[in-house]
Structure 1
């Protein structure tokens, strides 16, 4: 979960298009897992990222539009192999989108799936599974006792108080998002049996269509690993910080990187395997196939706060009782439809002379000449608003999730559009620990190796802004505080076990991961 600040994010008088040249550089060629895994295995760990804060990941939709290089217009022409079919697919998506907007507008956050932790333990029903896959989000009630979750929050407050001026976050004068990764509460939560069981169950909703036995194309979906993320403690009242609608884990990389683009093949390719037109093939998009994700390069620009691991589910665990209008999470609960629209949006623009706010398909035409990728800035998250993505009708489809209680868990698919309410009109704090569900893969094992090093040194995790972090903090946990064999494996501190019923690819993956870590 990320946030951005309202107002300028750059020096006065400097346009974002100009400043972009100084903060990003484009690699000579995008790389996928097949290219970068061997170099990571044999080479050096990731370089620390420059210091910063959570705002660095957003391009800011305010102010001057970003002028992307000409290669982006060429990319659109390369991908649109049949203009007529592209237009037909666009119309198909808009037609279905209009219907689903009506469903969500009528039902609001009642469409957000909710299950109990006992459902996780006993096994989700087929109806629950299909609902979660359609909406791309789920609330898991219970699992962590309320008093235990509240104890975690108090422990964090004590940790903050003990370290005073060393604590960093945003905004700096009234911190909401804390640049803390190594508190005792975070360590205990990441290894909590209820969180691990929930993550294992949700990772199990994914599958791997890869037929190769290469470790690079394998994933152990029953082996969640720890990912050090930050936390949020937000007091009631208005905030200058707002997290608008966006999708994390890369922005323009979705189109620019061939590996990432492969995750959306059914949406972007206009013909079937036999070369026949396939206008509605986008409906066959499988958002839960691991295979193409393993070749995706989500961070072409090595930007702070960009997630470089394969993270199927983003997530947080509640430390407070928080409901709508109290600074909670908002989601657009239509996974496949929203993904299809977002991926085709750069190829179309409103027809010259059309009404300013028209959503009619006839008022939108193919645009293969401009470099526009609405809401996309290299090195930033993919952002959305009513101007960049009007057909989403965010005023109707961006819904606040139902009330959560301390210990509840919330997870959302890595492609789900989400935001955080700009206002908190409640009476208590709105607090969460960001803890996603991440499986063992080659790419993730490489990250775990580097994260283990930053953990040992007390500095921020590799995906996050650098600096001395918590290395001088009082009460910081260390690798010696991770107890139990299961927890130590999650943190990269003990070798992974090979399941007795592991497939050949999973066996090779576990062996390769252990060779990376030990």
Structure 2
């Protein structure tokens, strides 16, 4: 969107500010009316009246009428979820706080700000609450002190800090301080309240997006977006750098066919959605690519299918054409097997599902039978635990090293995402030692031995020659440091999560110049999902998983993602079945959602999921929807778009991990963060030696020697990285930790 006509925050007059503010209520009412609400739920307009009316009246001032309690916080969080980006797990996290602790913490934060006027300190107090990151903390503080504290809303940040441009937001304390300072300057100049600044910003940015009806805009008139570029005006190079996410012109909502609707887990609510026109997709489509990260799915959560650029319909048409009957038959077989597998998972414990093996057993020749059983389960599940890779006391010492490194380098800032604090640190002593540790390298070598290279049945064996993949030679991939907000070593036994994700791109999995370069999923798209081998390295090494510069990108070929001593993860342990399902899902639609009203809700839902209720969309009628996929974002998996996965039953929490245990999972595995139970997360992916990985390691070696961020992360954190950090290790430290093999993995030894 262009912003030439946006009123500048530096120059807006008091009169114009008041005019925009006067339109806020109309704006909220219009947006609220366009969004469907379940029966009994409060509308956005009703929640907004509470947020800016009753809440401020009750909780603000030197002598508030009452203290804010957990239920009040939950209502405000509900408003936040309806007002901006939807996060399906946030409310559950917030609800898990102890009521007395909430009241005490909110009171402490309010008194801290009243006494010191230090917004950073007050936010730090509030973020002790589970589910409360800097953005949500600012909401609570803005209710307590509406005259001086502004809510960290996207619209406010874009208008005040980005001149109306939709830049990537990390939602960290540093960004909020910038927003707070800019809001303070405007409040001082116009003698206004911070709470009014956020509402004016909302109107201005929503008007810029064209969300407001013409008759509802301010007296300046509607700001029209610039003409959109046509395909002819966009060259191929530009498309590869930043391809457009949405269609140029969406279909009228009332005429959208049923196969473009989300499959609603609540079948009665799903049926209810068929009557009125659907609300516009709420997806932040205009955000800059790369706004999401591995641990920040807040920036993109699909509540309805999203129409992408028309070329994606052409991609789907091409895949289906000539293979329609085979794909339809394959889908039917897949649904049967998927149902059987998930039914089985629901009867087993996590320890029965997720295989584990002691590190000592992978080193003993006498453990051959046990290793074979482990390997069979790993290939089926796509996830495993190698126990005791690093001695417990060593693992605990690494955690202590992290704390000391952070303490010695207090200038290091982290980005909070409710459950995790992500530090743009790559070269702390703990990270460097763990990557070079002989046992870690041995565990990675063992894990990567489960992959195979080109064989006669490899989809890539009939195309271009496959580069050499040396799975017996692990190389280092330096990732960031991640610390959970809450830090016990144990893991919850159950998962209540309705959204999950898959790393390494999203739409690229369907694109010819993405994973299609290596024909990674060719068997699935040709109608024989059973022939797909997720462990064929020859069908991976040439793939291009990042065509859009996404923030969660990984330029290296990873055979496994790996975390040391981690809790707080859940997985769908069906790497082959689940991948085939989410890849084929966009080609199919339910025949009907209307059922015999005499059926129970469970029976309705079973009928909806039945294989007989789903049909292949004809090639010429394929739309541009790729359920849960959007350029530059990770692949999202949720109950609305992927109903047959039954995430409530198929997502399994990993068993309890001890310090020094090594968790590994396949790059195609569906996984989800669950509330923060784990130690400091040292990310240790298992990467084989390939030509492309060797080139990446060469760049990474230079970054290590200079103390710069790793190559895939040069856009985040300080430009100086860790160049001046106290205690940053060097080559000698790598040698002492891992000898020649450790040096070789880092590209420091031939």
**Larger deviation: 190-199 or 160-169?**
160-169
Equivalent residue for 2:307? Answer: 67
Q: 2:572 aligns with which of 332, 340, 353?
A: 332
Q: Which has the larger radius of gyration?
A: 2
Deviations 1:437-470 (A, max 9, x none): 1000011111111111222222221222434222
Mapping 1:289-328, distance limit 5 Å: 289-318=536-565, 322=567, 328=568
Task: Report the CA distance between 1:89 and its aligned residue.
Answer: 1.2
1:470 counterpart = 2:730: no
Alignment check: 8 A CA contact 1:351 1:363 kept: yes
Distance across 1 between alignment mates of 2:334 and 2:744: 44
Task: Report the CA distance between 1:182 and its aligned residue.
Answer: 0.6
Equivalent residue for 1:116? Answer: 358
Task: Report the CA distance between 1:236 and its aligned residue.
Answer: 2.9
Mapping 1:233-244, distance limit 5 Å: 233-236=483-486, 244=499
**Larger deviation: 293-302 or 3-12?**
3-12
Compared with structure 1, are the counterparts of its residues 52 and 386 closer, same or farther at alpha carbon in structure 2 (3 Å cutoff)?
closer
Task: Report the CA distance between 1:482 and its aligned residue.
Answer: 2.1
Distance across 2 between alignment mates of 1:97 and 1:52: 30
Other structure's SS at 1:209 match: coil
Q: Which contiguous aligned blocks of 4+ residues in structure 1 show a shift greater than 6 angstroms? A: 15-18, 28-31, 49-53
Deviations 1:191-228 (A, max 9, x none): 1111111100111111111679x996111110000110
- Greater share of strand: 1
Alignment check: 8 A CA contact 2:500 2:671 kept: yes
Distance across 1 between alignment mates of 2:508 and 2:153: 22
Alignment check: 8 A CA contact 1:232 1:432 kept: yes
1:265 counterpart = 2:506: no
Task: Report the CA distance between 1:237 and its aligned residue.
Answer: 8.8
Equivalent residue for 2:610? Answer: 360
Other structure's SS at 1:224 match: strand
Equivalent residue for 2:689? Answer: 440
Task: Report the CA distance between 1:157 and its aligned residue.
Answer: 0.5
Number of residue pairs matched?
Answer: 448
Equivalent residue for 2:745? Answer: 490
1:288 counterpart = 2:545: no
Distance across 1 between alignment mates of 2:293 and 2:335: 37
Deviations 1:203-258 (A, max 9, x none): 1111111679x9961111100001101232224399xxx99411101111011144
Deviations 1:367-416 (A, max 9, x none): 34321101101011111010111100100010001101000011001111
Task: Report the CA distance between 1:83 and its aligned residue.
Answer: 2.1
Task: Report the CA distance between 1:114 and its aligned residue.
Answer: 0.9
Alignment gaps of 5+ in structure 1: 32-48, 271-280, 323-327, 496-518
Mapping 1:43-442, distance limit 5 Å: 60-62=300-302, 66-81=306-321, 82-109=323-350, 110-122=352-364, 125-171=371-417, 176-209=421-454, 217-236=467-486, 244-258=499-513, 260-261=515-516, 262-270=519-527, 281-318=528-565, 322=567, 328-354=568-594, 357=605, 358-367=608-617, 368-422=621-675, 424=677, 430-442=679-691
Alignment check: 8 A CA contact 1:251 1:376 kept: yes
Q: Which structure ranks higher in relative contact order (CA pairs < 8 Å, sequence separation ≥ 6)?
A: 1
Distance across 2 between alignment mates of 1:289 and 1:112: 21
Task: Report the CA distance between 1:366 and its aligned residue.
Answer: 2.2
Compared with structure 1, are the counterparts of its residues 52 and 181 closer, same or farther at alpha carbon in structure 2 (3 Å cutoff)?
farther
Deviations 1:467-509 (A, max 9, x none): 42222322222344321222111101122xxxxxxxxxxxxxx
Alignment check: 8 A CA contact 2:388 2:661 kept: yes
Distance across 1 between alignment mates of 2:733 and 2:88: 34
Equivalent residue for 2:78? Answer: none
Compared with structure 1, are the counterparts of its residues 477 and 440 closer, same or farther at alpha carbon in structure 2 (3 Å cutoff)?
same
Alignment check: 8 A CA contact 1:315 1:437 kept: yes
**TM-score normalised according to structure 1 size:** 0.78
**Larger deviation: 79-88 or 339-348?**
79-88
Root-mean-square deviation (CA, aligned residues, Å) is 3.4
Task: Report the CA distance between 1:350 and its aligned residue.
Answer: 2.5
Compared with structure 1, are the counterparts of its residues 25 and 399 closer, same or farther at alpha carbon in structure 2 (3 Å cutoff)?
farther
